[in-house]
């Protein structure tokens, strides 16, 4: 899916570049210069100041107008070279010497505003590109169904669709403002918007992040109150502090104005925007993980399954199931009864889990006993009692399934926050399966969800570092060049 999406984005970019080039060279030849007039020459619009083109033969002027303190001058290219628009006061003295350049493509360039012929078309093209990228990413996210949904690409599509949408909306604002008032809102504003897209993304999403961090912290404090202070129970609280601290630092940097001239100001902007890019990257991955995990936990598979794999976890020494494990088994039983009522089909249960050092029997056996106590026929239960982790749950269960019905349809049951990552393990084990999730306490779920997110990212830490490095290089160079 990544390759297909990349090809579609590349085709979109190339198509927009070609279309913008055609529009620029066939429809837009002129460039309108907006020169702010000093008080000494701000005469009545009916009596504009005297102006001329400094270097004849490079460009010629159209009919000028004066509006709101600005002199608007259409400039048409004639030949490559440098020239200037000179404005005279009543005494014939040159008070403005506005430089212009014409390149070999007959594009007029304005060094003072970084404007050029066809700039509005370019802004529209960039805006359409980001909005189209968002639509492509969202489309691929929605295409992922069934077992194909459990993939890292699904997270990237969900998170990047959000980032591209916000960036596209920022560019849309810049484009509309430039079209409505090009004199006051020049191309420098467009470059600034591209340069600071990540920082603006942080500011736009700040209310959501603050709310998310607050809910996470509240639930984590309740978890600590109920289950005690342990390192694994404090992850949600630490993430909340990092999110709030990161947003506070981003707000501080966003409110600072760069007064340093030249490269010093560019380097400072590069550091600010690079920081924002890193934060926005992890923000998107967190949002993508949250969307995928919630959707996976709420998903209802079709009632046509041949096997129900139940993922084991710790249970009590007397053999009874704690609420977490009982929730998984109860969810599997509920699905089994619903499928039987709707289709008459009785799936085979595969409770999966080996015996831990502090466990009196394999987890699969403890779950099997509970299934029988809930009036599930023992003939519909096959034990997988060797696995010690989620990957082995899936891999060893697949061997059992392949030995009975290789093309059988499978669903796995686990806790709601664990469905998405378990689906990824199933895919890596070669088991095409959909997941269902048992409920857990409201104060337990957020912290467990953060552990799942950390697990997802740590599993692909090399790829994450590579993407992060590319993001840093891109936005750092962009800040230096356009700053």
The answer on pLDDT for 428 being more than 60 is yes
User: Which of 79, 94, 116 is at the close of a domain?
Assistant: 116
Asked, for residue 210, whether it belongs to a domain, the answer is: no
Range of the domain at 83: 29-116
Domain final residue pick, 80, 96, 116: 116
| Final residue of a structural domain among 95, 116, 137 | 116
3-state secondary structure 237-290: HHHHHHHHHHHHHHHHHHHCCCCCCHHHHHHHHHHHHHHHHHHHHHHHHHHHHH
pLDDT in tens, 360-383: 999 999 999 999 999 999 999 999
The answer to whether residue 272 sits within a structural domain is: no
Res. 329: pLDDT tops 90: yes
> Mean pLDDT across the stretch 20-43?
79
Q: How confident is the model at residue 448 (pLDDT cuts 50, 70, 90)?
A: confident
Judge whether 247 lies within some domain.
no
pLDDT digits (tens, 9 = 90+) for 213-258: 998 899 888 888 887 887 778 888 888 999 999 999 888 887 775 5
Give 61-73 pLDDT, tens digit per residue: 988 888 777 888 9
If one counts the domains in the chain, the total is 2
- pLDDT tens for each residue of 261-293: 555 666 677 777 778 888 888 888 888 888 888
CATH label of the domain that carries residue 444:
3.40.50.620
pLDDT given for residue 43 in this prediction: 55
Instruction: Calculate ∠ Cα 28-31-35, nearest 5°.
Output: 160
54: domain CATH number? 2.60.40
Cα separation, 478 vs 126, whole angstroms: 15
pLDDT (mean) for 309-332: 92
Please answer whether residues 354 and 364 qualify as being in contact, where contact means their C-beta atoms are separated by less than 8 angstroms.
yes
Structural domain includes residue 211: no
Q: What's the mean per-residue pLDDT of the chain?
A: 86
Q: What local confidence, expressed as pLDDT, does residue 262 receive?
A: 52
Biggest CA-to-CA distance, the chain: 106
Residue 7 falls within a domain, yes or no? no
d(C-alpha 37, C-alpha 68), whole Å: 9
Residue 130 has pLDDT above 60, yes or no: yes
Q: Give the global pTM.
A: 0.81
Per-residue model confidence (pLDDT) at position 327: 94
In a domain, 478, yes or no: no
- 172 in a structural domain: no
Nearest to 331 by CA among 274, 291, 370: 370
158-180 pLDDT, tens digit each: 988 988 898 888 889 889 999 99
Going by pLDDT thresholds of 50, 70 and 90, the confidence category of residue 55 is: confident
Residue 480 lies in a domain: no
């Amino acid at each position: 899916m990544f390759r297909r999406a990349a090809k579609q984005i590349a085709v979109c970019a190339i198509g927009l570049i070609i279309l913008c080039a055609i529009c620029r060279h066939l429809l837009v030849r002129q460039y309108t210069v907006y020169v702010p007039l000093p008080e000494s020459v701000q005469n009545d619009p009916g009596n504009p100041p005297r102006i001329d083109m400094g270097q004849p033969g490079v460009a010629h002027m159209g009919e000028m107008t004066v509006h709101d303190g600005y002199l608007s001058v259409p400039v048409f290219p004639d030949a490559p070279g440098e020239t200037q628009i000179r404005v005279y006061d009543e005494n014939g003295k040159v008070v403005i010497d506005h430089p212009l350049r014409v390149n070999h493509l007959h594009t007029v360039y304005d060094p003072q505003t970084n404007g050029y012929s066809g700039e509005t078309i370019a802004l529209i093209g960039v805006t359409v590109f980001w909005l189209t990228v968002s639509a492509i990413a969202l489309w691929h996210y929605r295409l992922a169904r069934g077992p194909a949904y459990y993939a890292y690409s699904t997270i990237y599509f969900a998170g990047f669709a959000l980032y591209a949408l916000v960036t596209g909306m920022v560019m849309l604002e810049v484009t509309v403002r430039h079209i409505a008032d090009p004199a006051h809102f020049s191309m420098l504003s467009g470059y600034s918007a591209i340069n600071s897209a990540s920082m603006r993304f942080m500011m736009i999403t700040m209310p959501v992040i603050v709310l998310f961090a607050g809910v996470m912290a509240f639930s984590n404090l309740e978890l600590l109150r109920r289950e005690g202070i342990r390192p694994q129970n404090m992850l949600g609280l630490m993430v909340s502090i990092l999110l709030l601290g990161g947003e506070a630092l981003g707000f501080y940097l966003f409110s600072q104005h760069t007064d340093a001239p030249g490269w010093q100001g560019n380097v400072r902007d590069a550091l600010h925007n690079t920081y924002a890019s890193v934060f926005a990257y992890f923000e998107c991955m967190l949002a993508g993980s949250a969307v995928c995990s919630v959707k996976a936990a709420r998903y209802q598979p079709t009632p046509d399954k041949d096997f129900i794999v139940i993922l084991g976890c710790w249970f009590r020494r007397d053999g009874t199931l704690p609420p977490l494990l009982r929730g998984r088994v109860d969810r599997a039983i509920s699905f089994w009864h619903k499928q039987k009522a709707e289709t008459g089909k009785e799936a085979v249960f595969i409770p999966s889990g080996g015996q831990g050092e502090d466990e009196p029997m394999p987890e699969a056996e403890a779950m099997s006993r509970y299934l029988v106590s809930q009036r599930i026929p023992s003939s519909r239960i096959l034990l997988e009692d060797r696995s010690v982790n989620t990957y082995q749950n899936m891999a060893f269960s697949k061997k059992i399934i392949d030995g009975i019905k290789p093309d059988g349809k499978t669903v796995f049951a686990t806790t709601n926050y664990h469905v998405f990552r378990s689906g990824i393990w199933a895919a890596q084990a070669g088991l095409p399966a959909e997941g269902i999730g048992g409920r857990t306490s409201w104060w337990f779920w957020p912290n467990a969800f953060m552990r799942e997110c950390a697990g997802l990212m740590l599993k692909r830490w090399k790829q994450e570092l590579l993407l992060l490095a590319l993001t840093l290089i891109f936005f750092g160079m962009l800040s230096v060049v356009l700053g």
